Structure 1
């Protein structure tokens, strides 16, 4: 299952150990949002607070708001959009959900449409996943039977083989989710993931992910903040390694066997989730969400 040395990108920091700090910070953003009144919040995750130290919640959110304005609201808009897409899929024939880089994602435990219908596979770095499992045991008294945990390093291991060995069925309709993940992977790792999806999933299977755009239209302050964010995550062993090529996601995904793309750019998720009482909140809009279906084979 080990990939050869020549396939590894030397830019990747393989020395990272311990649970992901980015996963903890994202959980903090969801937790803070969930504490707002219903008419003010963008997303709701009642379990997010269990994955952080509540006494540090203000510290985590205030640091981000001061250094990376708009990022926290981007994360909660992404969580809301992914919740909506995944819930709709669960209502319309989805049989398997594969969450790559699952972090402290709690959808397997809070989306009621999964019950008795959808088998969930959570893939992540072993150190992060171990903490996740400990927290899930604390919350629910044990691990749910319909969730399969697959420890993996996407840069050095063949995730597809591990997934198949864990009971994944390549015949079933499956949604593969990469929320806040693709930018931390090298192009060879991304290609390996997309190739597996195309060649090992049932009819109408799809991918859902967000991606940073690489365009000349991005204003200088946004570019500068994104560079600062990359430096920040790199210091914790999670460098940003990918941005969508200039030809855009359509050409990128069609070349890899996908079709029927739905893209939600920044202006769209601002309109969808930050209207009325929420319209004055600062929002980072330099990334987009994309849903793409595996093309007919």
Structure 2
């Protein structure tokens, strides 16, 4: 991602969510409020409006699934299932008395935007690169309550404790859920380990951390190939950290966390949908929810 440009991936994910909202195979999986919030964000920038034209074009909606099969089969549906997992983790934490949700590398995700009014006693904080955060802040300006905060920080240049330590809205004494969706694969393993430590140090044992992880390209549990590698190279977002799903429990245990839940796209289709998906299901990224011990 260029330093002065919003993340192309952030646009692509919202585009995929809106495409899936119109896919009969995933009927009912994208809530109207989510669809509305996605459109609100995309409408606020020239690039976003270009993506919306694609979403609303009948021809593009026929072509996009074909292109998807060549690059990342089933990825648009995966985005929706991934967000369902994160939303479920957030709702469960809020119901359990957690009163602070921090979204790391939030991009254009709309989870906090759609939940914060329903939970006025909870604090929602999003952290993302300034260029991406600026587009989102402009899109939602004047439409949010006081318990939603967008913090523009490049975590590649400033540590999480430094970013949150001086931020008045953040309270280290609150029970906190951290979410990090579609980000960790761009960090090297030392940065991933440091992030687990930082979260535990910031809010202590009992802190929850939901995240996604990518399996190695050579894994049998990965249906992407050379075109994905080319795509990531073009977008300058190479994969740095990968992990086989069976290894996740041991990985987090070594960080003094316990695994609460783990799922791949197929698991979530079975969990959330009444019937199997007829088209391809993305294999290559899985979701995990953990808790600091």
Normalising by the residue count of structure 2, what TM-score does the alignment of the two structures yield? 0.84
Task: Kindly report structure 1 stretches of 4+ aligned residues shifted beyond 6 Å.
Answer: none
Give, in whole Å, the separation in 1 of the partners of 2:215 and 2:23. 30
Matched residue count: 275
Note if contact 2:177-2:209 (Cα within 8 Å) is conserved in structure 1: yes
How far off its partner does 1:38 sit? Answer: 11
Q: Which stretch of structure 1 is more off in the superposition, 203-212 or 60-69? A: 60-69
Partner of 2:39: 49
How far off its partner does 1:120 sit? Answer: 1.0
Partner of 2:187: 185
1:240-292 per-residue CA deviation (whole Å, 9 max, x = no partner) reads: 2111168711111111120143211344223123442x521321123211101
After superposition, residues 5-154 of structure 1 pair within 5 angstroms as 16-35=3-22, 40-44=27-31, 45=34, 46-50=36-40, 51=42, 52-53=48-49, 54-57=52-55, 58=57, 59=60, 61-62=64-65, 63-111=67-115, 114-137=118-141, 141-154=142-155
How far off its partner does 1:209 sit? Answer: 0.8
1:203-239 per-residue CA deviation (whole Å, 9 max, x = no partner) reads: 42110011112386516x8252xx4324313322322
Give, in whole Å, the separation in 2 of the partners of 1:39 and 1:73. 7
Give, in whole Å, the separation in 2 of the partners of 1:43 and 1:180. 19
Partner of 1:172: 174
1:54-111 per-residue CA deviation (whole Å, 9 max, x = no partner) reads: 2122548444355322111111111112112211212221111110010111122212
How far off its partner does 1:152 sit? Answer: 1.9
**What stretches of structure 2 of length at least 5 have no aligned partner?**
43-47
1:92-134 per-residue CA deviation (whole Å, 9 max, x = no partner) reads: 2111111001011112221267532211111111000000000
Partner of 1:197: 199
Partner of 1:7: none
Partner of 1:9: none
Partner of 1:293: 291
Partner of 1:155: 156
Note if contact 1:263-1:290 (Cα within 8 Å) is conserved in structure 2: yes
How far off its partner does 1:36 sit? Answer: 5.4
Note if contact 1:274-1:281 (Cα within 8 Å) is conserved in structure 2: no
**What stretches of structure 1 of length at least 5 have no aligned partner?**
1-12
How far off its partner does 1:151 sit? Answer: 1.7
| Superposition RMSD in Å | 2.6
Q: Aligned with 2:291: secondary structure?
A: strand
Note if contact 2:210-2:290 (Cα within 8 Å) is conserved in structure 1: yes
Give, in whole Å, the separation in 2 of the partners of 1:259 and 1:113. 30
Note if contact 1:16-1:236 (Cα within 8 Å) is conserved in structure 2: no
Give, in whole Å, the separation in 1 of the partners of 2:220 and 2:230. 19
Give, in whole Å, the separation in 1 of the partners of 2:269 and 2:14. 21
Q: Which stretch of structure 1 is more off in the superposition, 108-117 or 229-238? A: 108-117
